[in-house]
Chains A and B, each alone.
Chain A
Amino acid sequence: MPWRETVCDESKADQDLRMELQELLGLDPAAPVRPAVEATAATVELADELRREALRRRHTPVLKTRRVWPMLLAAGLPVALALGGMATWGTLQKRKADALAADIRAKEAEVQRLAKVSAEAAAQAQQATQALVRVKSGTKGGQKARELVLPMEGSASRTPLDTQTVSNPNR
C-alpha cells in the first residue's frame, strides 16, 4: 500500500482548491510538486535501522516501569516519614492527655476523701463538745447540791465606824 493512500480522503472542492493555488503560485497542476523518490539501498538500510530502534524502544518501557517503583518509593518516603512522625506525635499527645486525665481523677478522689474525713472530724468534734458541755453542766449542779451557800448581806452603812485609826510613829 503506497503511503499516499494512508492520507485521508479529501473532497473534490479541496482538490480543486489545491489546483487553483498551484496555478496562482505558478506551479503546474498536472505535475506533482514533489517527484516520487525511489528507495535506494542506503534509504532501505536507514529505514530498517530506524525500525529496529523503534522495536528496541518499544521493549524499553518494561524496564522503565520496573524502575518507576524505586522512584515512587523515594518520592513517597518523605510523606511516609512525615505521616509516621505525626502519628507518633499524636500517640504521645494522647498518652499525655490520658495521664493528665487520670491525675485529675485521682486528685478529685483525694479531695472528696479529704472532704469526707474533714466532715467526720467536724462531727466528732461537735459531739465531743456537746458531751463536754453536758459533763460540765452535770458537775456544777452536783456541787451546788453538796455545798451550803449562805447569802451575804451587805452592810447597811458606809460610815468609817468599821475602821480604826492608828498613829504613825515615824512621823
Chain B
Amino acid sequence: MQAPDTTTTPFGDVADFHQAFADLYPRLVAYARRYGATFPEDIAQEAFVILMQREEPVDHPAAFLYGTVRTLSLTERRPMKNQNLSLEAVIEPGGAPEAEDLLLSREIRERMRTLSPTFREALWLFVVEGLSIREIGEILGIPEATVKTRIHRAKAQLREQLNNSGGAHALA
C-alpha cells in the first residue's frame, strides 16, 4: 500500500521545504561539525527526518532543527553513562573551525575564540545563524533572559577585548 504523500510540511508546501532544506542543511551540517560530530551530514539529515516525522506542528522549525542537531551531536560524543549535555564539557568549538572558516575571517574567528564557550554559543546562534532570542532559548534549553544575559556579556567581552587591543573600527 502506498503511503499518502502529504503536501504540507513544517515550512509550507513542498517547494518551500526544498528551499528551506537547501538553505538550512549546510548550516546544520556546520553546526553539528562545531560540536565535533563524527558524521555531521547524518545528524543534519536525521534532524530533518525527525522534524518531518512529527505529527504535532512545530512553532519554530529552524530552532527545532538546530536543537535536534545539537542534542544528537552531543549524544554522539558522550559516553552513555554521562548524558548531561553541556557545551563546555564536550568540545572547544574553536577546535573545529571548518564551518567558521567558510564564513568568517581569521580576525573575527580569533575574536570569537577569546569568548567563553557559553557566550560564544549564544553569540554564534544570534549573529551568524540569525536566530531570535526565543529560538536560541529553545535550542539551548534555557530561558530567554539567560540568552540575553549571555549575549550582553559576550558583547561586553568583545568591547573589552577591542579596547585592550586598541581596535577602533567597531567602536567608531
Chain A positions within 8 Å of B, measured between CB atoms, are: 1-4, 6-10, 14, 17-18, 20-27, 32-34, 36-40, 43-44, 46-48, 50-51, 53-59
Whether the Cβ atoms of A44 and B18 lie closer than 8 Å is yes
Whether the Cβ atoms of B155 and A20 lie closer than 8 Å is yes
B6 within 8 A of A: yes
Whether the Cβ atoms of B155 and A54 lie closer than 8 Å is no
Q: Determine the distance from Cα of A14 to Cα of B137 in the docked complex, in whole angstroms.
A: 14
Q: Determine the distance from Cα of A18 to Cα of B53 in the docked complex, in whole angstroms.
A: 33
Chain B positions within 8 Å of A, measured between CB atoms, are: 3, 5-6, 9-14, 16-27, 45, 48-53, 55, 59-63, 103-105, 107-108, 111-112, 123, 126-135, 151, 154-155, 158-159, 162, 169-171
Q: What is the number of contacts between chain A and chain B, taking CB atoms within 8 Å?
A: 141
Q: Determine the distance from Cα of A46 to Cα of B52 in the docked complex, in whole angstroms.
A: 14
Whether the Cβ atoms of A6 and B27 lie closer than 8 Å is no
B96 CB, nearest partner CB in chain A, Å:
18
Out of A10, A33, A40, A54, name the residue touching B127 (CB < 8 Å): A33
Minimum CB distance partner of B11 in chain A: A3
Out of A34, A54, A59, name the residue touching B49 (CB < 8 Å): A54
Minimum CB distance partner of B169 in chain A: A26
Whether the Cβ atoms of B159 and A24 lie closer than 8 Å is yes
Q: What would be 10 A-B contacts, judged by CB atoms less than 8 Å apart?
A: A3-B11, A7-B63, A24-B171, A33-B130, A37-B23, A38-B22, A39-B18, A43-B25, A44-B22, A50-B21
A9 neighbours in B (Cβ, 8 Å): 132
Whether the Cβ atoms of B130 and A1 lie closer than 8 Å is no
The majority secondary structure among interface residues of chain B is helix
| Given known contacts A3-B16, A10-B133, A39-B21, A33 and B103 CB-to-CB distance under 8 angstroms | yes
Minimum CB distance partner of B27 in chain A: A34
Q: Determine the distance from Cα of A33 to Cα of B30 in the docked complex, in whole angstroms.
A: 14
Whether the Cβ atoms of B169 and A10 lie closer than 8 Å is no
| Given known contacts A26-B107, A34-B128, A59 and B3 CB-to-CB distance under 8 angstroms | yes
Whether the Cβ atoms of A25 and B23 lie closer than 8 Å is no
A33 neighbours in B (Cβ, 8 Å): 103, 127-128, 130
Whether the Cβ atoms of B11 and A1 lie closer than 8 Å is yes
Whether the Cβ atoms of B158 and A47 lie closer than 8 Å is no
Out of B14, B22, B162, name the residue touching A40 (CB < 8 Å): B22
Minimum CB distance partner of B123 in chain A: A21
B158 neighbours in A (Cβ, 8 Å): 21, 24-25
B5 neighbours in A (Cβ, 8 Å): 55
Contacts beyond the supplied A47-B21, A54-B49: 13 A-B pairs with Cβ under 8 Å: A3-B16, A3-B61, A7-B62, A18-B127, A18-B130, A25-B104, A25-B127, A25-B158, A33-B130, A43-B18, A47-B25, A50-B52, A55-B6
Q: Determine the distance from Cα of A38 to Cα of B162 in the docked complex, in whole angstroms.
A: 36
B32 CB, nearest partner CB in chain A, Å:
15
| Residue among B19, B55, B159 with most chain A CB within 10 A | B19
B49 neighbours in A (Cβ, 8 Å): 50, 53-54, 57
B147 CB, nearest partner CB in chain A, Å:
10
Out of B3, B123, B131, B154, name the residue touching A55 (CB < 8 Å): B3
A2 CB, nearest partner CB in chain B, Å:
7
A20 neighbours in B (Cβ, 8 Å): 155
